[in-house]
Structure 1
Amino acid sequence: MALLPDIIARANTLLLTQRGHLFPWAPVFLALGIGSYFAMLVEPAPLLLVAFAATSVAAAILALWLKSGPAPVIWALALLAAGLPLAAIRAHLVAGPVLTNRYYGPVEGRVVGLDRSASGALRVTLDQAVLARLAPKATPRRLRVALHGDQHWHAPQPGERVLVTAHLSPPAGPAEPGGFDFRRHAWFQRLGAVGYARTPLLLLEPATKGSVARLRMDLSARIKTALPGERGAVAAALMTGDRTALSADLLRDLRRANLAHLLAISGLHMGLVSGFVFALVRLMLAAVPYIGLRVPAKKIAALAALAAAAGYLLLSGGNVATERAFVMVAVMLVALLFDRRAISLRAVAVAALVVLVLRPESLLSPGFQMSFAATTALVAVFAGLRDSNRLARGRLGGPLTLLLSSAVAGLATAPFAAAHFNMVSQMGLLANLASVPLMGAFVMPAAVLAAVVMPLGLEAWPLWLMGQGIAWIMAVAHWISVQEMAVRHVVSPGSHVLPLLSLGALCVILWQGRLRWGGSVLVALGLAGWMQSERPDLLIAENGSLVGVVTPDGRALSKSRGSGFVAGVWLENDGAPMPQEEAAALWPAHVAVEQGALRVIAGKKAAAGAWCNKGDWLVSNQRIEQPLPCQVFDPKSLKQTGSIAVFDGAEGPRIETARQRAGDRLWNHWVWQKEFPLTR
């Protein structure tokens, strides 16, 4: 019995050594609770959610009453228990109808978003939609249509009410079991249908004058008029978030050079804008001694920077990445108002808590993971150098600090970029060293000046200066991207790898004392798991339209055209991307399965005359109506399983389905039809 008090005493002593360093762990435990919700294979019952919420409240009250001793452990329990109901509440709040079958016909709605697809087609996001033959309560709240063909009749603008004849379908599930779940992503974006149109988009009602969206697009048009070409497209993306004029070639160059983050209005841009305004206002106040000595210049500058950041958030469209960046900057500026240290791990933790409470689903996004990984690593490294009085000073201080910050941010974000995008930019450090300083010292200050003088019609000179910096960044991106060693492709890791890497790195950064190095064991386990990642020997798309088989020369695909997105995802996840035509050329004449052969057919005529032998596997993109003696994978069966992965083993093939990996959740199509009827 004496053992238990001794363990408790040792635990209390251990917690005392962490005094003042435990708060940054708060978002970690909240994230673990949120992650447990998304890892579940069935939707948690209401009673379970109530139990977790009650446990969280009770634990928080107990921790407040105790104040010391085991209070930190109880706070951790409270946050862990709060994550599950918090994520569930958010998932139910965004719930809405989702299309359950294909739709072709007139689509009417209000434009609320514009972007471009991977193929470069303009996409419009609509709300207040009206679909023929579909009941209002079964009509998705939002839908997205890619515009193909001749669309010179009308250039859509946010706020307009438009009409188009479109093909729509439900959001697609994972391209392979365990892969990126677009259905879940679309659910939290309130997207209930996606599709395309080849007919002209027509204007029904113009946009309301004075709306923020209309102001953004007018501003974007002025920027592109004053600064034509690719430079104007980049300037518009940086200032207003309008990326519709960016070319596919430029985006490819930026991704290969690890400079794509310069286009996303995120922490870097928000920090540069607010930092420039803060420094400018403080300098202006200090330049007048009579004012500078009588007013709190730093706090006034912080308020001005906060207002500038809020205006930038509003002007840039307020997407999720920009909202996250604004929260991080706002926390730091508010800390300055209350005479607290602006840049600290506590400030980063507060920002992470705010983001996770407002949007729990952001935990799964690459943007959240990469931005907080970079910020946490940078704050920890420079805080350690500051405390040890090792910060570089003198003439070499600036270049060394820039080199160190780029290296730290690159190393911190590299695992997440590789896991999500299957690519490591091997020359990314060089590209960032050549571009980021110019972005901070030249491009963004010019953008702020252009925005300030634009009401006076004087934006031409600031935009010209901004364009010179953008031209340099574009040149760097293109030069890096054409180098043979620019990128290295990697295989997709298992679902356990990133959590292990993240927890291990957080232990090293946040824990105090020698025990912190225990986190390196978790990092090693994560890297070992990544190196042993297993890829499926056979993949079947969720509609039966594409099949991929591993061969000695790489993954062979069943057709050279069509299902290009799925084909690209499979090849990238293999860590060996290639053109679909080349992968189709690898298709073998005979593919053996356990007791027979794999047969792949396409089209209604082939499906009507389909045949197979016992033990064969038959894959068809059309329903097979007649009974057959073999295993059939057609749209009817795949609709209930999703995409399929097959792994060869000593004991026979192991089959995994997207439904087995994703579970029966709110956002999956096998649940939708129970919730939202299709007919009036």
Structure 2
Amino acid sequence: MEQWAEAERNQVALWTPVMLGSGIAAWFMLPDPRAWGAVMLAAGAVGLAAATLADGGRVMRSIGVAALLVVAGMLLAWARAESMRARILSRPVMADMVATVDAEEQLAARQIVRLTLRPVVARDGRGRSLSLPPRIRVSLAQEDAPAGLGRRARIRLRARMMPPAGPVAPGGYDFARAAWFQGIGATGRGFSPVQVLHPADQGPGLRESLSRRIMSHVPGSAGGIAAALATGDVGGIGQSDAEAMRRAGLAHLLSVSGLHISAVVGIVMVLTIRLLALWPWLALRVRLPLLGAATGAVAAIGYTWLTGAEVPTIRSCVAAMLVLTALAMGREAMTLRLVSAGALIVLILRPEALMGASFQLSFAAITAIVALHEHHAIRRWLGPHPDWRRAGLRQLAALLLTGLVVEAALMPIAVYHFHKAGLYGALANILAIPWTTFVAMPLEMIALLLDPLGLGEPFWWLLGHALQLLLRLAHAVSAIPGSVIALSVAPGWAFGLAVVGGLWIALLRTRWRWLGIPPLAVGVLVMVAAPAPDLIVTGDGRHAAIATGQGVALLRDRAGDYMRTTLSELSGADAEPVALAEQPAAHCGQDMCVTALRRGGRRWRIAATRSGYPVPWTDLIALCRQVDIVIADRRLPDACQPHWLKLDSPALRRTGGVSIRLDPPTVRTVRQPGDRHPWSSAS
């Protein structure tokens, strides 16, 4: 083992963010302080034992440091969560309030304005004072948003608010956790009229003004993409176009990250060096690449600030700074050490980012790219070649291979978070990435520079057509049969196994790296083959999705687009859901629905309320005795005793959303017994 550790000595430091991240992940996955303390004590004991047995050896020293990093990661996540502690609304309320606007976000494609508010005074419908959380988020219809809104504006409005929602069902997006780390204690919808008591001290910020300016020149979703490339604002992209970009594997182009930072830094560096080279006196006395690197660094920092400093942008900015520093020092620029340093900085500043898809996708992609191109065989293959045609073919093959490796690296993450796997993303990106980097972004930069002089219109026109071609590519790829495979919710342990296997392959260099293949393969196979649930019930009991032989049937015909999409994804279905009332096995009235499913050699009967009107208790109690599962958005009488499960409002308050398999009978719940994470215990 010492010989192996010596052979891998240059790779040991790369595991620093991995072990720190393991501690952070353990804190999020384990339920309560007792479990957190037990793991930290166990890791501390391992660290002390390794220090005692080290005797100058590299293996024990590495194990000791790794154990201490796990402890540090858990403490870091715990401290970060406690530092963000703020009051959370305990129940839905209707409030008349005066509030100060903390932030304004225009979502043009959805025709809403999203406001982050700090309430000053709030009263309920009877005029009684209400104590609201210090920071809330409210959405307004675009036509209800008056002039004068903006940061530090003071407004009066009426809003219906509720606590930040947890996952709809097991495997769903946990907005309550995200809201906790954003300091948001309630969300809701505001109603007209909205009165501006004191207008914003200044007009829209630079980011908002730039987004509006771009979208005024480039209409439609193309303008939304142009705004996303410049400011990170994706609110102007239509939902159908955004879905096509996701299905085609091009959604990463809408999130400002490494591609965009690299393009900006590269364009600024080239322009700076070329322009300064026209001054002979300076060119003979100063290293122009250093000045170009310094200008590129300033551009990267400014671009990061302009786009809102999201996690992928911060990671990319840090990486750009390290690349520019390496170039200035004459060192190799893109290495796994650079990626490791970027991950370490992000985890220290925002440990909660580890649990988000954005962090995982960003670092998985860049790690896969760098690890592939650091391999000696790839280096040798892409080395100088006397025949330029063969060299060009090799570069093209390398681009395709890189796309395939990146798709393979991102696939487990996409399956775990989005329950979908794309098949043609690598091919689409071979066209989309060069087109965006070398055509769309330079056109947009030229248009923005010339627009104040009144000369930008031809470039805006070209940019609009360039982005329309990108949208056509997205729609064409997404329309290909099998472009996206819908999968059911994958178990967390399988995802963890796939991540460990992938990191083992990417970060090691000796032949022992291939020991990562079995855990990676097992994890991916289990994720892909995970069985779909037969029944999903939301935490409020209002919505249910039932798997039929032809797809997914929804209990309520008027479920909104978000609920329909979410329940379909969690059910592992890609087709549009149908109404349960239209199914031959269902018998539905205005207020109740009874359906039957045949699973595991037996017939299961399920009854569910489907309106807010009361149902005669005598009939309801009689129905309960005839069915296996009862679902209700209200409290059911104690005499209602189905054969197996009673999912009424008291039960669902304890469990949150529920997913059920009938063969064998298995129940998964959103809320776990004893969960003491602050966003769970506060709600």
Which shifted more, 343-352 or 408-417?
Answer: 408-417
Determine the structure 1 residue equivalent to 2:261.
Answer: 270
Which of 635, 648, 652 is the aligned partner of 2:662?
Answer: 648
1:51, distance to aligned residue in structure 2 (A): 5.7
Whether the aligned pair in 2 keeps the contact of 1:122 and 1:244 (CA below 8 Å) is no
Aligned position for 2:441: 444
Equivalent residue for 2:430? Answer: 433
Residues in 1 aligned to 2:49 and 2:445: alpha-carbon distance in whole angstroms? 47
1:579 positional shift: 2.7
Instruction: From the superposition, tell whether residues 273 and 558 of structure 1 become closer, same or farther in structure 2 (CA, over 3 Å).
Output: same
Q: Which residue of 2 aligns with 1:507?
A: 504
Separation of aligned partners in 2, 1:508 and 1:145: 45
Partner of 2:416: 419
Contact 1:321/1:367 (<8 A) preserved:
yes
- CA distance in 2 between counterparts of 1:254 and 1:629 reads 48
Separation in 2, partners of 1:348, 1:56: 28
Pairing 1:145–2:128 present: no
Alpha-carbon spacing, 1:48–1:95, altered in 2? closer, same or farther (3 Å)? farther
Question: Structure 1 pair 329/141, CA: closer, same or farther in 2 (3 Å)?
Answer: farther
The separation in 2 between residues aligned to 1:67 and 1:334, in whole angstroms, is 33
Partner of 2:633: 621
Q: 2:321 aligns with which of 330, 333, 346?
A: 330
Q: Any idea what the Cα deviations from partners look like across 1:233-264, whole Å, max 9, x if unmatched?
A: 32222112233322222212212222221111
CA displacement 1:252-311 (0-9 Å, x = unmatched): 221222222111112211121112212332344455554334323333222111100111
2:534 matched residue in structure 1: 537
Q: Alignment partner of 1:408: what SS?
A: helix
When residues 662 and 225 of structure 1 are mapped into structure 2, their CA distance, relative to the original with a 3 A threshold, is farther
Mapped partners of 1:425, 1:313: distance in 2: 29
Secondary structure (helix, strand or coil) at the match of 1:273 reads helix
Deviation at 1:472, TM superposition (A): 1.9
Closer/same/farther in 2, CA of residues 481 and 427 from structure 1, 3 Å limit:
same
1:186 is aligned with what amino acid? A
Return the match for 1:168 from 134, 149, 161. 161
Q: Distance in 2 between matches of 1:105 and 1:479?
A: 47
1:508-550 Cα distance to aligned partner (Å, 9 max, x none): 1211211111100111111231244133332221011022333
TM-score by length of 1: 0.87
Q: CA deviation at 1:195?
A: 1.9
Match of 1:21 among 11, 36, 42: 11
Residues 204 and 51 (structure 1), Cα distance of their counterparts in 2 relative to 1, 3 Å cut: farther
Establish whether residue 104 from structure 1 lines up as the match of residue 118 from structure 2: no
Candidates 484, 487, 501, aligned match of 2:481: 484
- Contact 1:600–1:618 (8 Å) recurs in 2: yes
User: Is this contact kept in 1: 2:244–2:474, CA < 8 A?
Assistant: yes
Matched, 1:598 2:606: yes
**1:511-530 alignment to 2 at 5 Å?**
511-530=508-527
* 2:651 aligned partner: 637
Aligned to 2:621: 611
Per-residue deviation, 1:662: 8.9
Partner amino acid, structure 2, of 1:369: Q
Q: Does 1:74 align with 2:64?
A: yes
Whether the 8 Å contact between 1:62 and 1:74 is mirrored in structure 2 is no
Pair 142,461 (structure 1): closer, same or farther in 2 beyond 3 Å: farther
Percentage identity across aligned positions?
Answer: 30
Distance 1:576 1:337, change over 3 A: same
Pair 596,284 (structure 1): closer, same or farther in 2 beyond 3 Å: closer
Q: Secondary structure of the equivalent of 1:180?
A: coil
Which residue number in structure 2 is paired with residue 184 of structure 1? 177
Moved more, 461-470 or 632-641: 461-470
Distance 2:248 2:561 in 1: 24
Residue 31 of structure 1: aligned partner: 21
- Give the match for residue 585 of structure 1: 582
**Given that residues 49 and 85 in structure 1 are in contact (C-alpha distance below 8 angstroms), is that contact kept between their aligned partners in structure 2?**
no
Does structure 2 retain, via aligned residues, the 8 Å contact 1:535–1:574?
Answer: yes
SS state of the match for residue 485, structure 2? strand
Give, in angstroms, the shift of residue 402 of structure 1. Answer: 3.4
Q: Is the 8 A contact 1:63 1:74 kept in 2?
A: no
Deviation string for 1:158-194 (max 9, x for gaps)?
Answer: 5533333222111222222343322212212222112
CA distance in 2, matches of 1:492, 1:80: 28
Give the SS at the match of 1:196. Answer: strand
Per-residue deviation at 1:350?
0.3
Q: Give me the whole-angstrom Cα distance separating, in 2, the residues matched to 1:136 and 1:27.
A: 48
Match in the other structure for 2:197: 204
Amino acid at match of 2:112: L
Correspondences of 1:232-631 after superposition (within 5 Å): 232-286=223-277, 288=279, 290-384=281-375, 388-391=379-382, 394-395=388-389, 396=392, 398-454=395-451, 456=453, 458-562=455-559, 564-582=561-579, 585-586=582-583, 588-589=586-587, 590-591=594-595, 597-607=605-615, 609=617, 610-612=620-622, 613-614=624-625, 616=627, 617-624=629-636, 628-630=640-642
Residues 166 and 197, structure 1, Cα contact 8 Å, conserved in 2: yes
Q: CA deviation at 1:17?
A: 0.9
- The offset of 1:151, in angstroms, is 2.9
1:586-627 deviation per Cα after TM superposition (whole angstroms, max 9, x unaligned) = 363354699984321244532564434447443221333675
In structure 2, distance between residues paired with 1:517 and 1:121? 51
Structure-1 residue corresponding to 2:212: 221
2:112–2:142 contact (8 Å) kept in structure 1: no
1:663 aligned residue:
675
Contact 1:207 1:214 in 2 (8 A): no
Question: Over aligned residues, Cα RMSD in angstroms?
Answer: 3.4
The separation in 2 between residues aligned to 1:517 and 1:34, in whole angstroms, is 27
Q: Are the aligned partners of 2:123 and 2:129 in contact in 1 as well (CA < 8 Å)?
A: no
Distance 2:367 2:168 in 1: 32
Tell me the SS of whatever aligns to 1:245. Answer: coil
Question: Could you say which residue in structure 1 is the equivalent of 2:591?
Answer: none
**SS across alignment from 1:165:** strand
In 1, are the aligned partners of 2:149 and 2:199 still within 8 Å (CA)? no
Using the TM superposition, give the Cα deviation of residue 658 of structure 1 relative to its aligned residue in structure 2, in angstroms.
1.6
Q: Within 2, Cα distance between the matches of 1:68 and 1:299? A: 39
Does the 8 A contact of 1:145 with 1:197 survive in 2? yes
Counterpart-to-counterpart distance in 1, 2:134 and 2:315: 24
Structure 1 residues 475 and 59: CA distance shift in structure 2, 3 A? farther
State the distance in 2 between where 1:98 and 1:152 align.
26
More relative contact order, 1 or 2 (CA 8 Å, 6+ apart): 1
Report the Cα offset of residue 636 of structure 1.
2.9
Structure 1 letter corresponding to 2:483: A
1:39 Cα deviation (Å)?
0.8
C-alpha distance 227-23 of structure 1, shift in aligned 2 (>3 A): same
The change in CA–CA distance for 1:597 and 1:86 in structure 2 (over 3 A counts) is same
